[in-house]
Structure 1
Amino acid sequence: MPSTPSTPSTPSADEFLRLDRQICFSLNAASRAFGGIYRVLLKDLGLTYPQYLVMLVLWEAAPEEGPLPVKRLGERLRLDSGTLSPLLKRLETNGLVRRERSATDERSVTVALTTSGTALKTHASEVPRKIATATGFDLKEIEDLRSRLDRLTHALDSAAL
Structure 2
Amino acid sequence: MNEAHLKLENQLCHRLYMASNGIVRSYRPLLEAIDLTYPQYVVMMAMWEHKKLTIAQLLEKTAIDGGAMTLILKKMVAKSLLDIVKDNDDKRKKWVKLTSEGDALRTKATNIPSQIRCSYERVTAEEFKMLTKLLDKLLI
TM-score by length of 2: 0.94
- Work out the CA distance in 1 between the residues paired with 2:40 and 2:2: 41
Q: If you compute each CA radius of gyration, which structure gives the higher value, 1 or 2?
A: 1
Q: Is the 8 A contact 1:42 1:48 kept in 2?
A: yes
Whose relative contact order is higher, 1 or 2, with alpha carbons under 8 Å and at least 6 apart? Answer: 2
Please list every run of 5 or more consecutive structure 2 residues that lacks an aligned counterpart in the other structure.
Answer: none
* Percent identity for Structure 1 against Structure 2: 33
> Equivalent residues in 2 for 1:66-145 (5 A)?
67-136=52-121, 137-145=123-131
Measured after TM superposition, the shift of residue 139 of structure 1 is: 1.9
* Structure 1 segments of 4+ aligned residues over 2 angstroms from their partners: none
TM-score by length of 1: 0.82
2:26 to 31, 37, 55: 37
Please list every run of 5 or more consecutive structure 1 residues that lacks an aligned counterpart in the other structure.
Answer: 1-11, 155-161
Give per-residue Cα distances to partners, 1:76-95, cap 9 Å, x unaligned: 11124322111111011001
> Equivalent residues in 2 for 1:52-71 (5 A)?
52-62=41-51, 67-71=52-56
Question: When the two structures are aligned, how many residues end up with a matched partner?
Answer: 139
Tell me what 2:3 maps to. Answer: 14
1:147 to 128, 133, 136: 133
Greater share of residues in helix: 2
**CA-based RMSD:** 1.2
Q: Aligned with 2:84: secondary structure? A: strand
- Work out the CA distance in 2 between the residues paired with 1:124 and 1:40: 12
Measured after TM superposition, the shift of residue 32 of structure 1 is: 0.9
